[in-house]
Structure 1
Amino acid sequence: MIDLHTHTVFSDGELIPAELVRRAEVAGYKALCMTDHADESNMYATLENVLRFVKKHGHFYDINVMAGVELTHIPPALISEMVEKARAAGAQIVVMHGETPVEPVAQGTNLAAIEAKVDVLAHPGLITDQEVELAAENGVALEITTRGGHSYTNGHVAAMARKHGAKLVINNDAHAPRDLVDEALRKTIALGAGLTLDEYRQTESNAWEIVQRCMK
Structure 2
Amino acid sequence: MYDLHTHTIYSDGELLPIELVRRAAVLGYRTLAITDHADSTNVTRLIKELQPVRESAESYGVAILIGVELTHVPPVEIPVLARRAREHGADIVVVHGETTVEPVAPGTNRAACTCEYVDLLAHPGLITLEDAKEAAERGIALEITARAGHNRTNGHVLRIAREAGCAVSVDSDAHAPSDLMTRDARKTVALGAGMTEAECIAALSLDVDRLLHRF
Equivalent residues in 2 for 1:62-141, closer than 5 Å = 62-117=61-116, 118-141=118-141
Contact 1:123 1:150 in 2 (8 A): yes
Shift of residue 165, structure 1, vs aligned partner: 1.0
Contact 1:95 1:119 in 2 (8 A): yes
Distance in 2, matches of 1:30 and 1:187, equals 17
Shift of residue 211, structure 1, vs aligned partner: 6.8
Deviation by residue 1:103-148 (Cα, 9 ceiling, x = unmatched): 0000000010111131000000000010011111111000000111
Contact 1:133 1:166 in 2 (8 A): yes
Contact 1:114 1:135 in 2 (8 A): yes
The unaligned stretches of length 5 or more in structure 1 are none
Distance in 1, matches of 2:211 and 2:163, equals 25
Shift of residue 202, structure 1, vs aligned partner: 1.2
Deviation by residue 1:12-51 (Cα, 9 ceiling, x = unmatched): 0000011000000001111101000000111122111111
Structure-2 residue corresponding to 1:16: 16
Structure-1 residue corresponding to 2:155: 155
| TM norm structure 2 | 0.95
Structure-2 residue corresponding to 1:190: 190
> Quick check: 1:47 aligned with 2:47?
yes
Structure-2 residue corresponding to 1:180: 180
Sequence identity of aligned pairs in percent? 50
Distance in 1, matches of 2:157 and 2:71, equals 20
State the Cα RMSD in Å: 1.4
Shift of residue 186, structure 1, vs aligned partner: 1.1
Distance in 2, matches of 1:109 and 1:164, equals 18
Contact 1:100 1:150 in 2 (8 A): yes
Query: Normalized per residue, which structure has more helix?
Result: 1
Distance in 2, matches of 1:211 and 1:158, equals 17
Structure-2 residue corresponding to 1:57: 56
Contact 1:2 1:207 in 2 (8 A): no
Mark the CA change 1:213 to 1:61 in structure 2 (over 3 Å): closer, same or farther: farther
Distance in 2, matches of 1:57 and 1:211, equals 24
| TM norm structure 1 | 0.95
Shift of residue 213, structure 1, vs aligned partner: 3.7
* Secondary structure of the structure 2 residue equivalent to 1:6: coil
Structure-2 residue corresponding to 1:29: 29
Contact 1:119 1:210 in 2 (8 A): no
Distance in 2, matches of 1:16 and 1:170, equals 23
Shift of residue 52, structure 1, vs aligned partner: 2.3
Q: Which range is displaced more, 183-192 or 33-42?
A: 183-192
Structure-1 residue corresponding to 2:6: 6
